Amino acid sequence: MTPPLAMVFLGPPGAGKGTYCKEITAHYGCPQVSTGDMFRLAVKEGTAIGAKAKVYMDQGALVPDEVVLEVVRGRLGHADCREHGIILDGFPRTLAQADALPELLGSIGLSLDLVVNLQVGHDILIRRLTGRRMCRSCSRGNFNIYSLPPKREGICDYCGGELYQRDDDRLDVIENRLAVYHKQTSPLVDYYRGRGLLRDMEVGSGDIQVLAGAILAEIASSLKSRG
Ligand SMILES: [Zn+2]
C-alpha cells in the first residue's frame, strides 16, 4: 500500500498537467482535484457553501478565499482523500489560500509533500495552444496543425467534418491567459520555493513518459524524506 500523497500541481495552460496527473493517480491512487471539480461537486451536492460559490461563478467573478477554503475542506472530507491523499490543481491561487492549506490537510492527517511546478518554454506553449483545431461534427476530431496535423487541411480525419479554432485558442487570448497565469502563480512559486517544497520540472519537446518518470521519482524521494 502506497502512503497517502498530498501535492500541489502548478503549470500553465497547455503544459499537459492532465497527462502527468493520470500517471501519478495510477501510481498513488489519489484523486486529481481541480478547483472547478470541487465547485461543481459542491453545487451538485447542494451544500450551503456550494450555493454560495455558485453565485460568484454565475457572475464570472472571483470566488473569495473563505468560500474557496470551505469548498476545499468539504472535498477533503471525502473518503478517497483520507485514504489516498490528493493532487490539488488550481488551488491554492492566493497566498492566503496557501497559508490555510497546511491546516486543511492536517485535519485529515495529511501534510503537503511537494509542489510540482511544470515549466514550459513560451514558444512551445504558443504552438501547442494556437495550433489546436477541433472538429465541428464529432468529439474525436482533436488535432494540432504543428504536432498532429489532419491528413487534409481543415478536414477531420474521422468524420470529414470541418475543423475550427476555438475562440480561446487565438493568439491574443492565449497571450493574455499566460500572462494572468504567471502573475497569479509567481508569488506562490516564491512562497513554496522558500519553504523548500518546490520542484521545478521542465517540459521539453521530449518523451512524455520520461518526464512522468522524473515526476514520480521526485514524489518518491519527497515521501521518503518524510522520515
Ligand atoms: Zn470529426
Domain ranges (residues) in the chain: 5-120+177-224, 122-169
Which cell numbers in the block locate residue 185?
502563480
Residue 227, pLDDT score: 58
Q: Which residues are catalytic?
A: 17, 93, 132, 166, 177
Mean pLDDT for 197-211 is 88
Mean pLDDT over all residues of the chain? 92
Sheet holding 198-203, edge to edge: 32-34, 85-89, 5-10, 114-120, 198-203
CA of 118 to the centre of ligand 1 (A): 31
Distance CA 180, CA 198 (A): 20
Q: Are 74 and 47 in contact (CB under 8 A)?
A: yes
- pLDDT band for 1, please (50, 70, 90 cuts): low
CA of 134 to the centre of ligand 1 (A): 8
Q: For a pLDDT cut of 90, what percent of the chain falls above it?
A: 72
DSSP 103: H
Strand, coil or helix: 11: coil
**Nearest CA-CA partner of 177 in 127, 129, 106, 115:** 129
Asked whether the beta carbons of 211 and 126 are under 8 A apart, the reply is no
Distance 135 CA to ligand 1 centre (A): 5
127-152 confidence digits (pLDDT tens): 989 999 999 999 999 999 998 999 99
Contacts of the segment 135-141: beta carbons below 8 A, 24+ positions apart: 135/159, 135/161, 135/162, 135/163, 136/161, 136/162, 136/163, 136/164, 137/161, 137/162
How many helices (H) and strands (E) in the chain? 9, 8
pLDDT for 36 equals: 84
CATH topology of domain 5-120+177-224: Rossmann fold (3.40.50)
